């Protein structure tokens, strides 16, 4: 009997290479956002010459993120996981140019996108021609020359920069447009970008900057390999007031009725449901689990319902706290999760039901 759940501990780029071609029906995932968090996983060698013996030279990026001492609000929470108050040390090979570090802690977003493309090229290989790939990815702001990104109403800096040096092509304090760069790179690598869903967070954490608005959404991209693919159209209800307004083609229906017009025959059929729209209002949800970047289960429910056929297989190459695995376990869907950090394995297990005999662990 096919195993329902599989947790693979390891670097997703290498572990994906071990999966068979065209073996997965849908991918739902969220990679580490660029320059926001240090997950404490072992560094990985990216690019360069695989046969090079490597001569490593350290590269240090100044502290990033945080709103000041003892901050405790969302992604600005004080602590090592959010990379505030300590530098990021990575390495470059002086011989072949390879980079050694955690995905998401690259010195520039351009290198980050290059590394994501290495991973999603493998995702494309393991995805069936009828499959779909959903990716939630967030934004980062560039720093200015003084190392501050935002100021309060008194002109005092309230946020340390994520990147304290000017990057070519990205101005100081500018959005780095990481999600858009990722989507364009995916298209350049042969993916078809079918939709950009807006994940609107009604309960977004407050932010204290005074020179821009508080972001309350993130993009959720829907990619396919082929123009034709499996898709189960989801519906959402139409508000009753909207249905009533749409029933009559003329605003002067009542006046026409007084003039002898048969209003009843003018009434149009209006369905109770419509195709699901692309702005999804889904609150973030709290959790006792020690993971600083969990997306809510409600967010990944729709992509799986829409794109995973009966008996299909779901893949999450950045399993994290195991939200996708947990949802699939609850709904009897086979799922494969890959996670580089061994400490998250126990966290994933806590989310699963007790006495689960179908859970495999691969070290």
pLDDT digits (tens, 9 = 90+) for 219-241: 999 999 999 999 999 999 988 88
Range(s) of the domain holding residue 248: 238-274
Identify whether 92 is part of a domain.
no
Q: Which residue among 274, 296, 322 closes a domain? A: 274
Q: Which residue among 274, 297, 326 closes a domain? A: 274
**Does residue 254 sit in the same domain as residue 125?**
no
Q: Which of 42-46, 106-110, 169-173, 179-183 ranks highest by mean pLDDT?
A: 179-183
**Does residue 183 sit in the same domain as residue 115?**
yes
At 292-321, the pLDDT tens digits run 557 899 999 999 999 999 999 999 999 998
Identify whether 244 is part of a domain.
yes
**Does residue 137 sit in the same domain as residue 244?**
no
**Does residue 256 sit in the same domain as residue 196?**
no
Identify whether 326 is part of a domain.
yes
Query: What is the CATH classification number for the domain harbouring 357?
Result: 3.40.50.150
Q: Among 62-71, 124-133, 304-313, which stretch is predicted with the lowest mean pLDDT?
A: 62-71
**Does residue 185 sit in the same domain as residue 196?**
yes
Q: Which residue among 274, 299, 327 closes a domain? A: 274
Report residue 257's pLDDT band, with 50, 70 and 90 as the boundaries. low
**Does residue 347 sit in the same domain as residue 266?**
no
90 three-state secondary structure: strand
Q: How many domains does the chain have?
A: 2
Q: Is 238 exposed, middle or buried (0-12, 13-18, 19+ CB in 10 A)?
A: middle
At 328-356, the pLDDT tens digits run 999 999 999 999 999 888 888 777 754 35
pLDDT of residue 158: 41
Identify whether 17 is part of a domain.
yes
pLDDT of residue 78: 43
**Does residue 191 sit in the same domain as residue 290?**
yes
Average pLDDT value for the chain: 82
Backbone angles phi, psi at 109, to 5 degrees: -65, -25
Torsion angle of the four alpha carbons 303, 305, 309, 312, in this order, in degrees rounded to the nearest 10? 70
pLDDT above 80 (res 192):
yes
**Does residue 150 sit in the same domain as residue 26?**
yes
Q: What is the DSSP string of 9-63?
A: ES-HHHHHTTSPTT-EEEEEE-PPPTTT----PPPEEESS-TT----EEEEEEPP
168 three-state secondary structure: coil
Identify whether 248 is part of a domain.
yes
pLDDT above 70 (res 130):
yes
pLDDT of residue 347: 83
Averaged pLDDT, 106-132:
97
């Amino acid at each position: 009997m096919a195993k329902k759940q599989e947790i693979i501990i390891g670097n997703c780029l290498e572990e994906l290479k071990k999966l068979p071609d065209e073996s997965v029906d849908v991918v739902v995932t969220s990679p580490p956002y660029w320059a926001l968090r240090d997950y404490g996983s072992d560094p990985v060698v990216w690019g360069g010459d695989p046969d090079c013996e490597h001569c490593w030279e350290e590269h240090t990026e100044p502290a990033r993120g945080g709103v000041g001492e003892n901050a405790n609000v969302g992604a600005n929470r004080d602590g090592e996981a959010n990379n505030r108050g300590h530098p990021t040390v990575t390495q470059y090979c002086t011989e072949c140019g390879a980079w050694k570090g955690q995905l998401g802690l690259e010195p520039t977003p351009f290198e980050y996108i290059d590394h994501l493309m290495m991973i999603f090229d493998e995702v494309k290989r393991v995805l069936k021609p009828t499959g779909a790939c959903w990716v939630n990815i967030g934004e980062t702001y560039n720093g200015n020359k003084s190392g501050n990104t935002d100021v309060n109403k008194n002109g005092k800096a309230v946020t340390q920069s994520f990147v304290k040096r000017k990057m070519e092509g990205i101005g100081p304090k500018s959005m780095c447009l990481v999600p858009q760069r990722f989507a364009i790179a995916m298209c350049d690598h042969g993916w078809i970008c079918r939709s950009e869903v807006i994940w609107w967070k009604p309960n977004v954490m407050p932010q204290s900057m005074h020179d821009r608005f508080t972001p309350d959404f993130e993009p959720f991209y829907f990619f396919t390999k082929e123009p034709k693919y499996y898709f189960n159209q989801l519906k959402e209800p139409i508000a009753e007031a909207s249905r009533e307004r749409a029933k009559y083609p003329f605003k002067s229906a009542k006046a026409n009725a007084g003039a002898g017009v048969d209003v009843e025959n003018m009434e149009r059929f209006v369905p109770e449901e419509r195709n699901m729209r692309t702005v999804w209002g889904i609150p973030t949800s709290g959790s006792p689990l020690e993971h600083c970047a969990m997306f809510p289960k409600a967010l990944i429910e729709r992509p799986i319902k829409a794109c995973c056929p009966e008996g299909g297989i779901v893949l999450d190459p950045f399993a994290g706290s195991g939200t996708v695995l947990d949802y699939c376990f609850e709904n009897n869907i086979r799922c494969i999760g890959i996670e580089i950090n061994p400490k998250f394995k126990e966290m994933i297990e806590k989310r699963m039901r007790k006495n689960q005999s179908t859970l495999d662990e691969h070290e």
